[in-house]
């Protein structure tokens, strides 16, 4: 294996950011005060089966604060571990394009105009990217780079129905095409070890994504959080979660099939400890990442090892 990604066996976000921005950037999680069609009654009112009450944005600040105030708070929170001065404004909680552009424009502009913010990253659903929103994102992308993170989780419709994702794969495909046309970077959020998915199912999701013009991926291990419907299934014994070694093996299968130029934004998960029901071994993220990097080395695994473009 060549040393193409520094000391990592995959194309890490850190490596990408240092290469393209010349320095490490730290993410500040923001809450734009929006809801989500899976929660407000448009498509459903109980959310995706795994989603916490905080809309998967449990590290974000309070939406009662202005964007500027949230950024100031976020900087204070990371001050002990980050001494640099450049950040990614990450609208993480709920669905961050689920509002009219008259609401979205001042919100995103407030983040993008902060001198220390180098990238605007927006987590959303592919069914919440209408023409006006796309045009706004395209406009912002000319000021500073905009990343759009799409919550796909899986390409398999059976699993998508079970987790109550609320849109078919064709909607994701259309959103990817539209974002690509607008020259906006796309990051796809996937979840590994969803109930009843096999290793082959997960690898199929990866090989499908290899055919798409995406720039980044999050490989997130399924977490069971307190108060979710997934917790009920878990406590009923309807599915099991992998041990750490089993997860490393699953992850290796996905990484080896992943296209080499796709940046890996996440390899485990990041749940607040007070909400985490399982798997509890994920709680010490630093330790998990260290062990995982060791595992990849020991088993001579690297991203794209089994990816053979036609």
Which residue, among 306, 276, 89, 5, has the nearest Cα to 268 in the 3D structure?
A: 276
47 binds ligand SF4 (CB under 6 A): yes
Q: Which residue, 8 or 189, is less far from ligand SF4 as judged by CB?
A: 189
For residue 18, give every residue at least 6 positions away whose Cβ sits within 8 Å of its Cβ, in sequence order, or none. 24
**Count of chain residues binding ligand SF4 (CB under 6 A):** 12
Smallest distance, Å, CB 7 to ligand SF4? Answer: 33
Closest distance to ligand SF4 from the beta carbon of 115 (Å) = 30
Contact status: 265 vs ligand SF4 (CB under 6 A): no
Listed in sequence order, the residues at least 6 apart from 22 whose beta carbon sits closer than 8 Å to its beta carbon are: none
Residue of 95, 96, 256, 268 that binds ligand SF4 (CB under 6 A): 95
How many CA atoms lie less than 13 Å away from 94 in the CB half-sphere?
Answer: 20
Question: Is there a contact between 293 and 1 (Cβ–Cβ < 8 Å)?
Answer: no
Among 55, 74, 216, 304, binds ligand SF4 (CB under 6 A): 55
Closer of 51 and 112 to ligand SF4 (Cβ):
51
| CB 94, min distance to ligand SF4, A | 5
| CA dist., res. 132 & res. 176, Å (int) | 16
Per-residue mark of binding to ligand SF4, 153-182 (x: CB under 6 A):
------------------------------
Q: 134 vs 152, which CB is nearer to ligand SF4?
A: 152
Collect all residues with Cβ–Cβ distance below 8 Å to 219 and sequence separation of at least 6: 190, 192, 251, 254, 255, 264, 266, 267
Q: Where are the alpha helices (DSSP H) in 85-237?
A: 101-112, 131-141, 157-162, 169-181, 199-210, 229-235
Residue with Cβ nearer ligand SF4 (51 or 262): 51
Considering the rule CB under 6 A, would residue 36 count as an interface residue with ligand SF4? yes
**In angstroms, rounded to a whole number, what is the distance separating the alpha carbons of residues 161 and 23?**
41
Residue 136 contacts ligand SF4 per CB under 6 A:
no
- Residue 225 touching ligand SF4 (CB under 6 A): no
Quick check: helix, strand or coil at residue 124? strand
Closest approach, Cβ 286 to ligand SF4, in A, equals: 25
Minimum distance of ligand SF4 from residue 59's CB (angstroms): 14
Chain residues binding ligand SF4 by CB under 6 A are 36, 38-39, 47-48, 51, 55-56, 94-95, 125, 151
């Amino acid at each position: 294996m060549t040393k193409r990604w520094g000391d990592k066996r995959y194309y890490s976000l850190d490596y990408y950011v240092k290469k393209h921005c010349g320095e490490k950037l730290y993410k500040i999680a923001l809450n734009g005060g929006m809801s989500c069609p899976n929660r407000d009654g448009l498509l459903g009112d109980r959310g995706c089966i795994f989603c916490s009450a905080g809309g998967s944005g449990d590290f974000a600040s309070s939406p009662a604060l202005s964007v500027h105030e949230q950024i100031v708070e976020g900087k204070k929170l990371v001050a002990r571990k980050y001494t640099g001065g450049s950040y990614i404004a990450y609208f993480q909680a709920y669905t961050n394009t689920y509002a009219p552009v008259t609401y979205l424009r001042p919100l995103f502009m407030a983040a993008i105009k902060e001198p220390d913010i180098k990238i605007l990253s927006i987590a959303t659903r592919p069914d919440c990217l209408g023409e006006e929103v796309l045009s706004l994102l395209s406009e912002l992308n000319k000021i500073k780079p905009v990343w759009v993170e799409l919550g796909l989780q899986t390409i398999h419709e059976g699993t998508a129905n079970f987790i109550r994702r609320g849109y078919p794969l064709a909607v994701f495909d259309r959103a990817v095409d539209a974002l690509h046309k607008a020259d906006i970077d796309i990051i796809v959020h996937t979840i590994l070890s969803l109930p009843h998915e096999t290793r082959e199912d997960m690898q199929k999701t990866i090989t499908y994504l290899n055919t798409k013009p995406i720039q980044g991926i999050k490989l997130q291990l399924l977490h069971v959080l307190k108060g979710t419907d997934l917790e009920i299934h878990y406590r009923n014994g309807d599915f099991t979660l992998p041990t750490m070694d089993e997860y490393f093996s699953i992850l290796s299968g996905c990484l080896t099939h992943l296209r080499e130029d796709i940046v890996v934004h996440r390899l485990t998960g990041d749940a607040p400890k007070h909400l985490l029901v399982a798997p509890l071994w994920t709680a010490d993220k630093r330790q998990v990442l260290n062990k995982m990097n060791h595992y990849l080395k020991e088993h001579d695994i690297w991203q794209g090892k089994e990816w053979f473009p036609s």
